[in-house]
């Protein structure tokens, strides 16, 4: 098969041989896990393992805890501690000979254990004397698709939606099963099929049948289906005069609609809701609250154990936009039903290249929150730029909120460690489309992979994830890759790539200075008559002859007050504020002295130049590794790196030349000179058809 990226990290035909010497497989052949191992085995060796009734020496045993062979091992106490999805992978001795056991309480746990074993095999790690115990950090690990019913994908850069709504339910694309397998292989167990900017049509009987067809394909891989809903659906579909959540007729409509869905899809997961945000309808249209709206829908779902994921992405005109979600929701802490989870973006603005974590994390001490991460690169160069996002997510999940004392990190305040919740959850906005390689950029696959791995184990390092992905995704007959032999220069390129994008786009805490319509290129001068101020870059950078940045200190908008001590004090003082967030929290003079000894202006210039030079280094790294990368993927990544290199220069010149009109200072002579004129850059208007 051509190396076009369609196999993702599941290229079993290129995996190392079965060096463990498994000579048979036993357990429960009815398990999907059993079948998936045999499928992989056929791809790796052209033949499945012989199935035997009883585990023998050098054999593989795959079964749930109820299987007689597992009960005989007397692991019941340890297995009970694993919950429904945790698993054990153990090497045991039978008459002095090794047997590899994969077991769990439930079939889904066994499936995740088998994929873990296959990952070990694919990455060339030792299969002897295994002692592995895994329990997921989050119980619900969910992809949010921003896919529209007409086949387009909002903020999607890999082609049209993989969901062929016009063909469903009669025609099922083979990609649906490939999608389910890829997700299950990294522990993703849920999917929201449609855009948060939802149309009421998704709740019609016609679309419920289509959703049912997709659910049937992903169900064997233990993936639950959710949908995004439009709050006005009772008015639009039910011909009610309004959608007031306190009106009995509206509440009755939701209960009837939910019952209709569960009749067709008994394991349906629930709803994702974007309400009273960016013009979408919601309970506030009727003088009600977010709690009123969420609880109404929660009541309808409660009999079926369904979940409401209510987004906190709201920012009505007014005060500092970074404060608005906190201000909107903090007063409702403890007022939501048990099956409501508030979905909070990782930062307080909107998936910027770098943000401090949202102050809602930890602040709501009686309400379950779930982080929302963006896998698709809306603000990170779309599918043209190589940006491995695991380091950014690791930074967020490991950030200490101090809300429950030192050590109450974002991951711990959202996984049930501090705030009890019936279910813990984390979401990632998918970067998947119908492109052959799924994500547009081959390295975009690494972000899909990384989200799943971190959702399963938030303590994994970015390096571990990158090594796994590289070893499984690349390599050839000339160069077999393991986690130990992945090219260190490509590994370093991946691990540094997010910081590189930050360096040439918005370093030192700058944010939201993109072009108005596409969030791709720079446009710090943007001015749209009649637009809300907080939709324009000037609102965020506040460039003037005096300096640069957004004053969120006690003397400014006082957004720092929404954080716990000692963070609020650290952020409030430029001397203790991390420099990566400096201009997020402070408006500072151009001659402000940085830790490097340089002025703010010079530091800004050096950051942008460093970003440009590093992308050029990436081109060199990629080119010198050509000998062992298949021709098609080498050429396609090489082409994207060329675009990224040109874009980095575009960003550097646009930002520095524009801000120079305020700083009135020279660009340091030791860095590369601008190659554009500011007036020419201001005329650039992209045709995004060529940038998606």
- The residues annotated with a catalytic role in the active site are 278, 350, 378
Look at residues 308, 135, 304, 139 and name the one whose alpha carbon lies nearest to residue 231.
308
Report the alpha-carbon distance of residue 20 to residue 121 in Å, rounded.
9
| Distant-in-sequence contacts of 514-518, Cβ < 8 A, 24+ apart | 514/379, 515/686, 517/688, 518/686, 518/688, 518/691
- How large is the greatest C-alpha to C-alpha distance in the chain, in angstroms? 81
Q: Look-up: residue for tokens 């339910």?
A: 169
Q: Are 101 and 61 in contact (CB under 8 A)?
A: yes
Cis peptide before 614 (omega within 30 of 0): no
Q: Look-up: residue for tokens 């420099």?
A: 579
Cis peptide before 169 (omega within 30 of 0): yes
Q: What phi-psi label fits residue 585: left (phi over 0), alpha (psi between -120 and 50 degrees) or beta?
A: alpha
297-325 core/surface letters (b: 16 or more CB in 10 A; e: else): bbbbbbebebbbbbbbbbbeeeebbbbbb
The token pair at 523 is 């446009």
Report the alpha-carbon distance of residue 113 to residue 119 in Å, rounded.
10
Look at residues 224, 299, 312, 236 and name the one whose alpha carbon lies nearest to residue 268.
224
Name 98's bridge partners. 93
Look at residues 27, 44, 6 and name the one whose alpha carbon lies nearest to residue 121.
44
Look at residues 383, 672, 666 and name the one whose alpha carbon lies nearest to residue 504.
672
Report the alpha-carbon distance of residue 21 to residue 513 in Å, rounded.
56
Q: Are 537 and 577 in contact (CB under 8 A)?
A: no
DSSP assignments along 162-177, one per residue: S--TTTTTT---HHHH
Look at residues 134, 73, 143 and name the one whose alpha carbon lies nearest to residue 109.
134
From first CA to last CA, the distance across the chain in angstroms is 26
Q: Measured between alpha carbons, how far is residue 351 from residues 344, 390, 393, 428, 479 in Å?
A: 11, 14, 11, 11, 37
Spatial neighbors of 127 by CB under 8 A, at least 6 apart, are 19, 20, 100, 117, 120, 121
């Amino acid at each position: 098969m051509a190396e076009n990226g369609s196999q993702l990290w599941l290229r079993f035909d290129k995996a190392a041989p079965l060096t463990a010497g498994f000579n048979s497989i036993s357990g429960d052949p009815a398990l999907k896990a059993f079948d998936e191992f045999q499928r992989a085995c056929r791809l790796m060796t052209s033949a499945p393992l012989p199935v035997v009734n009883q585990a023998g020496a050098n054999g593989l045993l795959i079964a749930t805890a109820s299987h007689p062979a597992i009960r005989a091992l007397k692991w019941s106490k340890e297995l009970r501690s694993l919950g429904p999805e945790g698993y054990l992978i153990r090497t045991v001795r039978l008459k002095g000979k090794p047997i590899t056991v994969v077991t769990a309480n439930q079939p889904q746990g066994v499936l995740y254990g088998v994929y873990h074993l296959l990952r070990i095999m694919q990455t060339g790690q030792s299969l002897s004397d295994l002692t592995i115990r895994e329990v997921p950090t989050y119980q619900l690990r969910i992809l949010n698709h921003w896919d529209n019913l007409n086949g387009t994908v909002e903020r999607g850069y890999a082609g049209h939606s993989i969901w062929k709504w016009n063909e469903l339910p009669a025609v099922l694309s083979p990609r649906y099963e490939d999608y389910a397998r890829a997700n299950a292989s990294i522990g993703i167990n849920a999917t929201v099929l449609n855009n948060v900017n939802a149309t009421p049509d998704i709740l019609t009987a016609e679309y419920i049948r289509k959703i049912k067809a997709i659910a049937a394909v992903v169900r064997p891989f233990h993936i639950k289906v959710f949908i995004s809903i439009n709050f006005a659906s009772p008015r639009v579909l039910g011909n009610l005069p309004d959608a007031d959540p306190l009106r009995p007729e509206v509440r009755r409509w939701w209960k009837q609609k939910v019952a209709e869905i569960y009749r067709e899809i008994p394991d349906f997961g629930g709803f994702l809701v974007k309400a009273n945000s960016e013009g979408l309808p919601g309970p506030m249209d009727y003088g009600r609250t977010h709690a009123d709206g969420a609880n109404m829908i929660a009541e309808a779902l409660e009999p079926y154990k369904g979940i409401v994921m209510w987004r906190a992405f709201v920012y009505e005109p007014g005060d500092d936009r970074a404060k608005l979600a906190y201000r909107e929701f903090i007063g409702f802490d403890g007022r939501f039903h048990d099956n409501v989870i508030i979905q909070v973006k990782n930062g307080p603005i909107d998936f910027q290249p770098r943000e401090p974590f949202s102050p809602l994390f930890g602040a709501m001490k009686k309400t379950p929150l779930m982080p929302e991460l963006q896998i698709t690169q809306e603000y990170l160069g779309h599918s043209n730029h190589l940006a491995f996002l695991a380091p950014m997510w690791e930074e967020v999940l490991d950030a200490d909120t101090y809300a429950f004392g030192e050590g109450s990190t974002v991951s711990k305040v959202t996984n049930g460690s501090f705030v009890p919740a019936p279910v813990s959850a984390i979401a990632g906005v998918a970067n998947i489309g119908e492109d052959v390689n799924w994500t547009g950029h081959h390295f975009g696959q690494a972000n899909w992979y990384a989200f799943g791995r971190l959702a399963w184990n938030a303590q994994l390092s970015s390096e571990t994830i990158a090594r796994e992905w590289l070893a499984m995704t690349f390599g050839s007959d000339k160069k077999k890759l393991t986690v130990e032999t992945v090219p260190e220069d490509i590994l370093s390129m991946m691990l540094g790539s997010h910081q590189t994008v930050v360096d040439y786009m918005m370093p030192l805490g700058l944010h939201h200075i993109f072009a108005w319509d596409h969030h791709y290129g720079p446009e710090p001068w943007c001015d749209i008559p009649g637009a809300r101020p907080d939709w324009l870059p000037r609102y965020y950078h506040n460039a003037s002859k005096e300096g640069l940045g957004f004053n969120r200190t006690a003397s400014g908008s006082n957004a720092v007050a929404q954080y716990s001590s000692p963070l609020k004090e650290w952020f409030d003082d430029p001397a203790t504020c991390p420099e990566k967030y400096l201009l997020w929290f402070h408006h500072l003079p151009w001659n402000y002295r940085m830790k490097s000894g340089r002025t703010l202006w010079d530091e800004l210039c050096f950051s942008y130049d460093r970003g440009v030079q590093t992308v050029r280094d990436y081109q060199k790294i990629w080119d010198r590794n050509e000998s062992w990368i298949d021709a098609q993927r080498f050429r396609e990544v090489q082409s994207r790196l060329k675009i990224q290199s040109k874009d980095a220069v575009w960003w550097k010149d646009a930002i520095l030349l524009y801000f120079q009109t305020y700083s009135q200072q020279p660009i340091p002579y030791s860095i590369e000179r601008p190659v554009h004129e500011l007036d020419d850059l201001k005329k650039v208007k992209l045709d995004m058809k060529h940038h998606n």
